[in-house]
Every structure is written in structure tokens, then in C-alpha cells.
Amino acid sequence: MIQTDIIIIGAGPVGLFTVFEAGLLKLKCHLIDSLPQAGGQCSEIYPKKPIYDIPGFPSVLAGELIDNLMEQAAPFKPGFTLGEAAMTIDKTAEGKFIVTTIKGTQHEAPIVMIAGGLGVFEPRKPPIENLESYEDKGVEYIIKDPEFYRGKRVVIAGGGDSALDWSIFLAEKNLAKEVVLVHRSSSFRGHLDSVQKVIDMAGEGKIKLVTEAEVTGITGENIVEGVVITHQKDGEFIQETDHFIPLFGLKPSLGPIADWGFEIDKNAIKVNTLDYSTNIPGIYAIGDVNTYENKLKLILCGFHEGTLAVQSAFARIYPDKKNILKYTTVNGVQGF
Ligand SMILES: Cc1cc2nc3c(=O)[nH]c(=O)nc-3n(C[C@H](O)[C@H](O)[C@H](O)COP(=O)(O)OP(=O)(O)OC[C@H]3O[C@@H](n4cnc5c(N)ncnc54)[C@H](O)[C@@H]3O)c2cc1C
């Protein structure tokens, strides 16, 4: 059981900055995220796009903002449970909360902050019969650890940046024994550099590129042994492989959060703007996941919400202690 002061569900920009604000009050945080890396939408959807409305940064790449937030939170040694969706929240007899993830990891704290943004990112799955029965038996939708594919044969499907970049990475580092990239069109949506590199590597025989084709079936008794590729002109053939990785992007859905007893309005959690508390005492909702009159889904609004929510959390944890606002310019940042 992981014990902490505040469990933050969602390691997007708002969850990360809340670690810093909680740390200033000597409250320790543990973040849970279903994605394999921190950063939420900034890392997953637009890491290379510049953001122009973060105070003090005329322009900052979304990925750089996340790096900076991680650095800012580091003195407060946040814990992370990554790659695991939070599935349930239970209350103990002592009034604490236990948050359990899809893999059964349990976390206990007196306070929970939901910073779940648009919700859990679910993979877009291709319409292949029995696809789900091969999940974790050779079918994966996210590459969490490229080492997992060392010495293996891999078929990747997709035409965007992740399909291109992972094909290049697995082939270039000689990790996978064989990399086949299947895409239904002859043009790609990814960066021009990456497209050119895949074409060059295909010319050198390092990637087998199959365009104008789709993976339409999977073969194998209990685990993936091959995929059926249907070419628009040449028809079907079987490609032997150990892994099939469709990388068609991720779509957000509120997911398990919708079933935790919150007042929900238009797919978001209703909060009291006094302190961004939900209808369940001890649980707060901050960032894109909450809603109230005049709500703006902006990073800077989420930073403000997290800052006020931790002040209220402090008062709940230490009802007898008075908390006086201290400027960081005066007190500095005293880490744990
Ligand atoms: C293309 C694009 C451009 C944008 N440009 C700007 C901009 O210029 N300026 C600006 O201010 N904003 C911009 N935004 C919006 C901004 O990205 C969001 O406001 C911000 O990401 C919200 O942060 P968050 O931490 O609340 O949520 P998110 O970034 O969505 O992070 C939430 C995290 O919670 C996780 N999660 C959800 N449910 C669970 C669960 N049950 N268990 C575990 N983990 C869970 C998700 O995996 C996710 O990582 C842009 C958004 C997009 C898509």
C-alpha cells in the first residue's frame, strides 16, 4: 500500500504543478496516470507545439513545459504510478481514501485530487475480429518499453508520427529482429523528416514498408503468430510476426471517474469554486476534468485551481494548524 498525503489522479500539467504547491505546504503527493509518461495532453497530443499563454513564457514547447514542471516538482519527491488507470476509490473506517489501479496497485491518503483532464486515453482499435483476445498475447497499442521487442518480429500499423517514429526506433537501434510497417495509404500524416527516413530505411532493407494495405486478421493458436495483410491491388497475404502494434492514436473518455459518485455535467466533475472541492468531502477536481460557471479549459486556470485546492486540503488534514501564505522569494523552496 502506497501511503501519501495527496493522491493525484492524472499527471498532466495541472497534477504536476499541484505537487509543487502542495510541497510548499509540506504535503507529499503521489501521482497516478494511465499513460506510461507524465504530461497529459501536452506530452501525448502536442509535445512539439509552442504554447503562448503560459505566464512568463512568451513561447514554450508543450514538452518543454512538462520537463520544467517535473523539475519544479522534483524537490518534493513525488511518487508515480504510471501506465495504470485508477479504477476505484474506497473509503476506510478512518476516513482515508484507497485508490486502486487496473493492475491492483493500492494507494492510501486522506485527500484525493482528480486531475484527470479529458479522462483516460483509450487506443483507437482497428476493426479486426478477435483482436481483443490477443491483447497482451502479442497485440499492444502503446509501446511502453522498446526493450520488450528486442530480437522479436514486429508489425506496426498506422500512418502518423508514432507509427513512423517507433518503426524507425525499433529498426535503427537493432532492437526488433524485423520491422514491418503497414499503412492503408501511400502518403503519411507524420513529419516529413520521419516519412523520408522510413522510405530510406525501406530502401536499405531495414524496414519492410507495405502501403495501400491494411491488417485485416490475426493468426495464431493462443498468441500472435502472424497477421493477415490485405493489399488494395494484390490481395491477401500472411506476414509471420511475434507482435502486432496498431498505432492509430488515442481517444479520451472520462472512463472510471464517471462511476465514482461525482456530480457530472457535460462529461466533467462539478466543483465548488471556493476550493474546487467535489460533492465528496476530501476529493477535489482540478484542471480540464472539472466544470463550473465560466470554466476555461486552460493550463493557467488549472494551475490556479490546484493552488487553491491544496490550501483547502491542508486545512482538512490539519484542522488545528494555521497556514500563513509564505512567498517563495522569502522562504525559498524547502524540499523533502
Ligand atoms: C492541440 C492542443 C493545443 C492546446 N493548446 C493550449 C494552449 O495553447 N494553452 C493552454 O492553456 N491550453 C492548451 N490546450 C489545453 C491544455 O492542454 C489542457 O488544458 C491541459 O492539458 C489540461 O491539463 P490537465 O492536467 O487538467 O489534464 P490532461 O493534460 O488532460 O492530463 C490528464 C491526465 O489524467 C490521466 N487520467 C485520466 N483519468 C485517469 C484515470 N482514471 N487513471 C489514471 N490516469 C487518468 C490522463 O491519462 C492524462 O494524462 C491545448 C490542448 C490541445 C489538445
User: What are the residue ranges spanned by the domains of the chain?
Assistant: 2-121+250-331, 125-246
DSSP 8-state symbol, 76: G
Element (H, E) at 97: strand 97-101
* Helix residue ranges, H only, the chain: 13-24, 40-44, 62-73, 161-172, 192-203, 299-317, 328-331
Among the ranges given (29-33, 185-189, 287-291), the one the predictor scored with the smallest mean pLDDT: 185-189
196-205 average pLDDT score: 97
Compute the distance from residue 12 Cα to the ligand 1 centre, in Å: 6
Q: Domain 2-121+250-331 is classified in which CATH homologous superfamily?
A: FAD/NAD(P)-binding domain (3.50.50.60)
- CATH number, domain 125-246: 3.50.50.60
What is the spatial distance between Cα 8 and Cα 114, in angstroms, rounded to a whole number? 6
Residues within 6 Å of ligand 1 by CB: 9-15, 32-35, 40-42, 45-46, 51, 53, 85-86, 115-121, 255-257, 287-289, 297-300, 302
Higher pLDDT, 144 or 147: 147
What is the spatial distance between Cα 201 and Cα 198, in angstroms, rounded to a whole number? 5
Checking if the pLDDT of 145 tops 90, the result is no
Q: Judge whether 2-121+250-331 and 125-246 match in fold.
A: yes
pTM: predicted TM-score of the whole model, two decimal places? 0.77
**Which of 102, 264, 299 to probe ligand 1 with, by most ligand atoms within 8 A of CB?**
299
User: What percent of the chain is predicted at pLDDT more than 90?
Assistant: 86
What is the spatial distance between Cα 176 and Cα 179, in angstroms, rounded to a whole number? 6
